[in-house]
């Protein structure tokens, strides 16, 4: 049999990003060995804040172009206490997502076995969402500026950009994703009462695209009311689509409601596969626990399962998620973010053992 080899770019970045990406590469290795049908050719990049301190740039100028040669990108985190967050974000993460046009950011949330939601009475069947975040424009479009620094008339603007192309493609992606899930249910989030241009265009285009998906039930929510619905009636939601900033905020809430930000994954997709997509945990660099060996690697394993799905290795993706869920079910293997005492290594070894042990 001809073995497929996937070229993966690994960018650990900063803080615990490096630790969880390392753990994940071990897990990917075990998965490939267990499957036998594919292999990974991994190249690691030392891009991140350390590089910025020594060279003045988080990655080489042609960094995004270098990544085009890969099938996927595994990303850890970027951010350090002594460097302004907007520099790290625009210097690395957005400097990859935007040129590679990874416009669909997908954030699944579930309560995994063994993990408790802070919402009382809410179990694993009651919260199973996918948030689709528009990842190329909106509030993160990068338009704006500052004038008259230091003067009383100093002014700063951040202009949100909403284009028909941008909204149509994310809406179509979200409707398609909703259609692929059993409940075929989509909630479109905006703030179209206060933001009367871009957000009204969202509502209008949602209604247009909905015509292409007659079997999908959809509704609309204002983002503020959405936080209440997520908390009070989580079972009423399934697939959710929102702007870059709104979905950023909602996905932190979603992660907290599902038990820990340490398990929440994300995929920055170019659905047309013209460029490689990027897979990362959403927890960030977490300098408070960096170097202690206790970072929860589950978010990174889950995002690796999303990567395998994107590469059409569905069997391996399922095997990985099954292994992760076997491990989360055992509270002795919970890291401190979940109230346990396990280390990154213990969780990683247990996931690898579960991958090797499954007879499917
Ligand atoms: C996320 C993060 C980032 C974002 C931060 C690190 C800038 O919160 O991926 O949700 O806002 O996009
Ligand atoms: Mg966020």
Q: Give the ligand 1 atom nearest the CA of 78.
A: 6
The correct answer on CATH 3.90.950.10 for the domain covering 117-258 is no
| CA 249 to ligand 1 center in whole angstroms | 9
Query: Ligand 1 center to residue 140 CA distance, Å?
Result: 10
What is the pLDDT at residue 1? 59
- Whether the CB-CB separation of 172 and 209 falls below 8 Å is answered with yes
What is the distance in A from the centroid of ligand 2 to the CA of 248?
A: 4
**Given this chain, do its domains 1-103+266-360 and 117-258 carry the same CATH topology?**
yes
Mean pLDDT of all residues belonging to the chain: 96
How far is residue 302's CA from residue 321's CA, in Å, rounded to a whole number? 7
pLDDT digits (tens, 9 = 90+) for 63-93: 999 999 999 999 999 999 999 999 999 999 9
> Across residues 160-173, what is the average pLDDT?
98
Return the number of other C-beta atoms located less than 10 Å from residue 94's C-beta: 17
Q: Which residue has a Cα nearest atom 7 of ligand 1?
A: 89
255 CA → ligand 2 middle, Å: 10
Sign of the Cα pseudo-torsion (83, 19, 59, 65, in order): negative
Q: What is the pLDDT of residue 359?
A: 55
Query: Does residue 12 surpass a pLDDT of 70?
Result: yes
Pocket of ligand 1, candidates 78, 93, 137, 243: which has the most ligand atoms within 8 Å of its Cβ, to mutate?
A: 93
Fold of 1-103+266-360: Isopropylmalate Dehydrogenase (3.40.718)
What pLDDT score was predicted for residue 3? Answer: 86
Q: What does the pLDDT look like over 296-342, one tens digit per residue?
A: 999 999 999 999 999 999 999 999 999 999 999 999 999 999 999 99
Q: What are 4's two structure tokens? A: 């497929």
pLDDT for the residue 273:
96
The four Cα atoms 240, 179, 238, 304 give a dihedral, to 10 degrees, of: -80
Q: Is 30's pLDDT higher than 60?
A: yes
Q: Given a cut of 80, is residue 2 above it in pLDDT?
A: no
- What percent of the chain shows pLDDT beyond 90? 96
Cβ count near 198 (within 10 Å): 21
Model-level pTM? 0.96
Q: State mean pLDDT over 186-201.
A: 97
pLDDT average, residue stretch 131-160: 97
Angstrom distances, CA of residue 118 to CA of 231, 236, 262, 264 = 10, 18, 14, 15
User: Tokens 């015509």 belong to which residue?
Assistant: 211
Cβ < 6 A, ligand 1 pocket: 89, 248, 282, 284
> What are the domain boundaries of the chain?
1-103+266-360, 117-258
Residues contacting residue 240 through CB under 8 Å, at least 6 positions apart: 129, 130, 131, 132, 186, 187, 189, 226, 247, 250
The yes-or-no verdict on residue 344 having pLDDT over 90 is yes
Going by CA atoms, what residue is nearest to atom 4 of ligand 1? 248
87-142 pLDDT, tens per residue?
Answer: 999 999 999 999 999 999 999 999 999 999 999 999 888 999 999 999 999 999 99
Does 149 have pLDDT greater than 60?
yes
Kindly report the protein residue whose alpha carbon is nearest to atom 10 of ligand 1: 248
Ligand 1 atom at minimal distance to the Cα of residue 251: 10
Active site residues: 140, 191, 224, 248, 252
pLDDT-derived band at 253 (thresholds 50, 70, 90) equals very high
């Amino acid at each position: 049999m001809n073995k497929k080899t996937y070229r993966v770019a690994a960018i650990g970045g900063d803080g615990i990003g490096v630790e969880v990406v390392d753990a994940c590469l071990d897990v990917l290795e075990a998965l490939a060995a267990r499957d036998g049908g594919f292999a990974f050719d991994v190249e690691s990049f030392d891009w991140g804040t350390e590089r910025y301190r020594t060279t003045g740039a988080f990655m080489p100028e042609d960094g995004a172009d270098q990544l085009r040669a890969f099938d996927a990108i595994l990303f850890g985190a970027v951010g350090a206490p002594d460097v302004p967050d907007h520099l790290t974000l625009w210097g690395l993460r957005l400097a990859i997502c935007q040129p590679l046009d990874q416009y669909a950011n997908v954030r699944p949330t579930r309560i995994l076995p063994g993990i408790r939601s802070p919402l009382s009475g809410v179990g694993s069947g009651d919260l199973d969402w996918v948030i689709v975040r528009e990842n190329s424009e909106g509030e993160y479009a990068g338009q704006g500026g500052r004038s008259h620094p230091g003067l009383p008339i100093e002014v700063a603007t951040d202009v949100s950009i909403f284009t028909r192309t941008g909204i149509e493609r994310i809406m179509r992606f979200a409707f398609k994703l909703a259609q692929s899930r059993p409940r075929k249910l989509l909630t479109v989030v905006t703030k179209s009462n206060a933001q009367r241009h871009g957000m009204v265009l969202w509502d209008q285009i949602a209604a247009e695209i909905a015509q292409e998906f007659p079997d999908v039930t959809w509704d609309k929510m204002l983002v503020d009311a959405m936080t209440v619905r997520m908390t009070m009636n989580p079972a009423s939601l399934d697939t959710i689509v929102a702007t870059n900033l709104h979905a950023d905020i909602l996905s932190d809430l979603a992660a907290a409601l599902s038990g820990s930000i340490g398990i929440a994954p994300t995929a920055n997709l170019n659905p047309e596969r013209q460029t490689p997509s990027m897979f990362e945990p959403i927890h960030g660099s977490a300098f408070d626990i960096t170097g202690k060996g206790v970072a929860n690697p589950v978010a990174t394993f889950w995002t690796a399962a999303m990567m395998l799905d994107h590469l059409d290795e569905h069997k391996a993706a399922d095997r990985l998620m099954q292994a992760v869920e076997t491990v989360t079910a055992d509270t002795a293997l919970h890291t401190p973010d979940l109230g346990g005492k396990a280390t990154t290594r213990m969780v990683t070894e247990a996931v690898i053992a579960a991958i090797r042990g499954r007879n499917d």
